[in-house]
Amino acid sequence: MGGRLEHPSPVPKRKNSTDSSRDYTTYLTLSTTRLQSSQQAGEVYYKPTNLSHASIRVLARVSGAPGAVAGIFTYCNDTTESDIEILSRDPATSIHYSNQPTTTGSGATVPGSTWNASMPSGASWTSWNVHRLDWIPGRSAWYVNGVQMAITTVNVPRTPSAFILNMWGNGNAWSGVMDVGAGAELQIQWVEMAFNVSGQAATTSASNSNAVVCSVDKVVGTPMAAEGAVTIWAYGTSLMWLSLWLTTCMSLPNA
């Protein structure tokens, strides 16, 4: 995304003062605000950077002015990255998925690497939705509320990666230009992950056939113990609350 990073400050947790839900009382907020010559951005990430396959689910919504990008993604470098992206300038039913790189050196789109998708009927990113990325050997798949939106075998990451959530804008063609003084937010109730980590592995055997693992499928958002063999994740699990909180400012390109 480029730009200069400065002015670290805490990422806020906000009280639920606008919804009539009894399911939650607070949510994490990542915000971006357009300043006169820069744009503030918010980011959190899972501190270990050795995820090597994962199923990631995030209950989130987006609100605010055009000119921002909400990102939910795994990242090693600019050519090893799997993205869920919501652009605040888009219609509230549009969502973007990609495995980087999505273009060739000549600028042509890499077939099977990127999608501009429409959310399931009745869903919009301004409301709470479960966004999901499954990254397994040789395949990436993306879901909203359990509905598969895209699947590919192209540019699937092969290198241990970090998991990142952010909300940003920098005035470029992708994010669009936000008006000075305007802002947008990525609001998150919870994050749930089942994952491998490089350098660690788990196996089951006859003597360990009753090993307790964690299910993220039976009750999404409420991890629970499950008896049985370890799955393809092989196994590391977490109801993941994030190890480092950070907001930044990003300098804008000259107009």
Q: Where are the domains of the chain?
A: 13-251
Cα distances (Å, whole numbers) of residue 218 to 8, 50, 98, 215, 244: 38, 26, 27, 6, 29
**65 is written with which tokens?**
């002015």
Please state which CATH number belongs to domain 13-251.
2.60.120.200
- Angle made by CA atoms 212, 238, 204, in degrees to the nearest 5: 30
Query: Using one digit for the tens of pLDDT, what is the confidence trace for 213-233?
Result: 455 565 655 544 443 333 333
Would you say the pTM of this structure is higher than 0.85?
Answer: no
Regarding beta strands 183-197 and 212-215, do their DSSP bridges make them parallel or antiparallel, or are they unpaired?
unpaired
Per-residue pLDDT of the chain (255 residues; tens, 9 = 90+): 333 333 444 566 666 555 666 566 788 999 999 999 999 999 999 988 999 899 999 999 999 999 999 999 999 999 999 999 999 999 999 999 999 999 999 999 999 999 999 999 999 999 999 999 999 999 999 999 999 999 999 999 999 999 999 999 999 999 999 999 999 999 999 999 998 877 644 444 444 445 444 555 656 555 444 433 333 333 343 444 343 333 334 445 444
- Alpha-carbon distance of 250 to 246, in angstroms, equals 13
Calpha distance 40→136 (Å, rounded): 34
- Report how far apart, in Å, the C-alpha atoms of 71 and of each of 24, 79, 104, 225 are: 23, 16, 22, 30
